[in-house]
Amino acid sequence: MADIYSLISATRLREWLNDNDEIALFDVREAGEFGEGHPFFAIPLPYSRLELDIGRLAPRRSVRIVLLDAGTDDEAIARRAAGRLHALGYTRLHVVEGGVRGWDAAGYTLFKGVNVPSKTFGELVEHAYGTPHISAADLASRQAEGAPLILLDGRTVEEHRKMTIPGAVSCPNGELPFRFGELVGDPHTPVVIHCAGRTRSIIGAQLLRSFGVPNPVIALENGTQGWALAGLDLEHGSTRRYPDSVDERAASEARDRAAVLAARFALATLDRHAAQAWLDADDRTTYLLDVRSAAEFAQDGVPAAVHAPGGQLLQATDQTIGVRRARVLLVDHDGVRAPVIATWLVQLGIETAMVAAQDARALQVRAAPPEAPQAAADDLLIDADGLRKLRGETNVYPVDLRASVEYRKGHPTGARWSIRPTLVAALSDADRSGRVVLLAESAGVAALAALDLRDAGFNDVSIARDGLGTFREAGYAIESTPAIPADHERIDYLFFVHDRHEGNLDAARAYLAWETGLIAQCAPDELQHFRIDAQPSRADTLAELIRS
């Protein structure tokens, strides 16, 4: 495969991360491995989903791509991934010699956790802007006193429903500037933004402060975890959320504020021709994104755009923008959300412009890489009747590709657990002429695994049409195995402070210490990519908030 990819050193990769060309650094290990340590700018692209996600993360097939794995077995997974990407038409492929071990051996930091650049950005924003915060104890005291206060949860509606601070109303950060006038009637009422930890509290509060709302706005220090650490009870099952409609007066005020902010950041709105030129450029990657709510996108989203809710786009940028130094084009439907989110993307170091929705409707994006044909191969599917016919036959190997936590809860008796990068090894004792039946949460994931099996000599591979449900319908016994697979085999599961939201206060403390310590772990060349423009905003202090 020497003609498909080149092998590069960690030092060369570091140089490339700091040059002026686009680069996509994809860590092809699974989620559990990635979260235990990865380079600062690595994008998670697990091999188990490689062909399914690459087109979204790296739509331009001539972009420079660097693949990183654990560095074991001569970079076996990264090399295999390079071959798969080459088959999809990607032309500039490189593999890091020694993988993350090589990166570590070169003296470079491996960062635990996920969404590290976005969370580091949140910490930098707090330092640069001096975003004020309130402790859980002080907030609880104000609530007990009945003091005027509006508490908003800047996370997703689903996260809010799972757990929230008592009395909070769900309004994801990306919706805050557009919905604020409907949620907050009195311009003097203090507003507190919370999340589960730190980043979205800080970004949500500072977003509104920079937006210029008249109210005092402050972040809840350490979010729901700080609340739990203070010995306070969380609320579960809340259905409170922002209103769907915004009246014209509130919308007009929001547009005026957004226009001032856009002018401050010199944001450009491209016409249809200029926007299409961005998308057509052979030497640049451009992401066309709609930052509104899922319901709005489903109702009238631009066909060429990708849905990326604004708050989550800032919180988990690496889940949408896979290419460093790429451009972002935001579809502007209301004159508020797109420009506000654009100002924060610019501060993240991302070149960003806008295009009006009516102009965006005529835009065309480059053709996505062809999906691996195996990912849609209906002839691999087997239904319950087919499974019944296999009962009692020898050399039938059911393999469960679902999340390891789901396997532990329940799987067909006798099925082994595996995941694409370890699948062939997991079947090392199997007869290659036997029948392998895969069950997964998606047919695409199973089909990619089937592709690897066929390359390894397994020619009789099927996929259960409805996953575990097909086995149940066929009458197979289902068993649970709380300790199988063993923890060390569960490369899909991130154990790092995994139970911080389930009552493990030590894990919550460790997580918050990790988050506040991110900046200190960074090298200057990792921090230099941010472009935080912290002009003075209204300097509310905690004392001012409590007096109000």
Per-residue pLDDT of 430-439, as tens digits, reads 999 999 999 9
pLDDT tens digits along 352-363: 999 999 999 999
Q: Taking residues 69-82, what's their average pLDDT?
A: 97
pLDDT, mean of residues 504-521 = 96
What's the CA gap between 369 and 271, in Å, rounded?
A: 27
Domain covering 373-489, topology? Oxidized Rhodanese; domain 1 (3.40.250)
pLDDT for the residue numbered 334: 98
Classified as helix, coil or strand, 288 is strand
Map out the domains of the chain as residue ranges: 5-114, 115-246+494-525, 256-360, 373-489
pLDDT exceeds 80 at position 375:
no
Locate 341 and state its tokens.
């989110």
By the 10 Å C-beta count (0-12 exposed, 13-18 middle, 19+ buried), 229 is classed as: middle
Domain formed by 256-360, architecture: 3-Layer(aba) Sandwich (3.40)
* Residue 146 buriedness (CB in 10 A; 0-12 / 13-18 / 19+): exposed
For residues 206 and 128, the answer to whether their CB atoms sit within 8 Å is no
Average pLDDT over residues 361-371: 81
pLDDT tens, 414-432?
A: 999 999 999 999 999 999 9
CATH architecture of 115-246+494-525: 3-Layer(aba) Sandwich (3.40)
> Tokens 């988050």 belong to which residue?
515
Per-residue pLDDT band at 512 (split at 50, 70, 90) = very high
Distance CA 312, CA 538 (A): 26
Can you give the pLDDT at residue 537?
Answer: 56
359 contacts 374 by C-beta, under 8 angstroms: no
pLDDT band with cut points at 50, 70 and 90 for residue 369: low
pLDDT cut 70: percent of the chain above it:
95
Domains 115-246+494-525 and 256-360 share a fold: yes
Q: What is the C-alpha separation between 35 and 37, in angstroms, rounded?
A: 5
Per-residue pLDDT, averaged over 10-37, amounts to 98
Q: What is the pLDDT at residue 534?
A: 81
Q: Count how many residues are written for the chain.
A: 548
What is the pLDDT of the chain when averaged over all its residues?
95
Residue 224 has a CB neighbour count (10 Å cut-off) of 29
What would the pLDDT profile of 485-507 be if each residue is shown by its tens digit?
A: 999 999 999 999 898 988 899 99
Mean pLDDT of 284-296: 98
Residues 41, 61: Cα–Cα separation, whole Å: 20
- Residue 370: predicted pLDDT: 64
- pLDDT score of 538 more than 70: no
- pLDDT tens, residue by residue, 329-356: 999 999 999 999 999 999 999 999 999 9
- Provide the pLDDT confidence category of residue 392 given band limits of 50, 70 and 90: confident
pLDDT band at 372 (very low <50, low <70, confident <90, very high): low
Q: State the Cα–Cα distance between residues 323 and 267, nearest whole angstrom.
A: 21
Residue 140 CB contacts under 8 Å (≥ 6 apart), including other chains = 227, 230, 232
Span 497-520, mean pLDDT? Answer: 93
* CA–CA dist 201, 192 (Å, integer): 8
| DSSP state string for 75-124 | THHHHHHHHHHHHTT--EEEEETTHHHHHHHTT---B-SSSHHHHHHHHH
CATH number of 5-114: 3.40.250.10
CB–CB of 262/342 below 8 Å? yes
Give the DSSP letter string of 180-223.
HHHH---TTS-EEEE-SSSHHHHHHHHHHHHHT-SS-EEEETTH
Backbone angles phi, psi at 492, to 5 degrees: -85, -10
